[in-house]
Copies of this chain bind each other. A is one copy, B any other.
Amino acid sequence: MILSMGSTKSRFWNSRVNNLAPYIPGEQPKEQLIKLNTNENPYPPPPDVLHAMSRALNEKLRLYPDPCCTEVREAVARRYSVEENQVFIGNGSDEVLAFAFGAFFESAENSNARPILFPEISYSFYPVFAKLWNLPYTAIPLGREWEIKPEDYVINAGGVVLANPNAPTGISIKARDILDIADFHLAHNKLVLVDEAYADFSDDTILPYINDPLVSRDNILVVRTLSKSYSLAGLRVGFAIGSGALITALESLRDSFNSYTIDRVAQAGAAAALSNTAYYAEITKKIIATRERISKELLKLHFTVLPSSANFIFIKHPVMSGEDFFLGLRKNGILVRHFKHDKIVDFVRVTIGTDKDMDIFLEICSAGIKSAQ
């Protein structure tokens, strides 16, 4: 039988596939667990989003969707006060990031390519994208307080990628610091890619500075997602905002890959979500309040809790190893995320859930510590 080759290598794979190191997404468990492992929103999307999607369930599904995602782009442009030609829509922010890595950074085959820079501890998809496109990169260590040190990114490079707030630490840096980094790289014609997946839970975003009438900022691309603050991880929509020329490059790469990446129903849902600011402001406020409350309680229990500007917290148990704490929580019905990277192996990342779920989490943490003392 030839069918059970499973995950063994094959003589038909090319050099690219043999060199890939794919991203491993957080578990989507089949059993009933309190799911605090992939930074999903604990509150549902609003009814008007479901209604808009429902209206798109009709015989027109036989027709291709709008390849330009016009309605979604208009909604993003209105929501963030930019022009439509400054907006690119992708199948989740991961796809947008994949295209951006492929469009703006030079591959190692080009002898002039300098390494791109991103934090050593950050979204673990960045080195995967770099491998995919064969980009040289330098992973820059965080500071002693797990912070991104802006001065480390003001050096000659092939470009910069920063998550703000950073993941999985949750720590943000000031818009001013990113603008300084961008100004330096503008002089060298290099891009600064700012992944603002979690920015709605933070005070720090550079979006308001993109269209500064006094300063050209055409080397900044901001990437956002509907998977976190918009509570639509199941929909697969993300977007980028930047200068028209950056957007055109993303479109070129997309149209060399797959012209239609957002289906009709998802386009309807995304446009509706981006037009409902009141509901999302309310649930975001709730999540931030829960985050602050839980952080304080964990500090009282002698946890290390990094100061989060996201919808998750990155915490270290006072006595247990990260892995034991992860396994202990799982045994108690709570799924969080533990990363194998040496430097953060003592930590776990916990998504902020509903107050009820987080109270159960707190109770287990508290009971767990007692039994370990």
Q: Which residues of A contact B (CB under 8 A)?
A: 1-17, 20-26, 28, 35, 38, 40-45, 49-50, 53-54, 57-67, 83, 85-86, 91-92, 94-95, 98, 102-107, 109-110, 128-129, 131-133, 189-191, 211, 213, 216-219, 227, 231-236, 243-246, 248-249, 251-266, 269
Contacts and interface: CB of A to CB of B under 8 A. Distances in A.
Nearest to A230: B62
What 7 A-B pairs are tightest by C-beta distance, nearest first?
A44-B59, A22-B255, A10-B245, A5-B245, A234-B264, A61-B234, A95-B258
Work out how many copies of this chain go into the complex.
2
A63 B35 contact: yes
Contact of A248 (B6, B255, B261): B6
B249 A217 contact: no
Contact of A14 (B41, B60, B103, B256): B103
A91 B40 contact: no
A252 B2 contact: no
A160 to B, nearest CB: 12
Nearest to A189: B11
B40 A249 contact: no
A49 B257 CA distance: 27
Contacts of A14: 102-107
Contacts of A254: 22
Given A106-B15, A110-B15, A189-B12, A258 B98 contact: yes
Given A16-B107, A94-B258, A262-B236, A10 B246 contact: yes
A22 B256 contact: yes
Contacts of A95: 257-258, 261
Q: Which of A1, A5, A14, A67 has the most CB of B within 10 A?
A: A14
Given A64-B233, A104-B14, A253 B25 contact: no
A60 B234 contact: yes
A247 to B, nearest CB: 9
A17 B233 contact: no
A28 B67 contact: yes
Contact of A265 (B20, B53, B259): B53
A105 B106 CA distance: 21
A11 B187 CA distance: 11
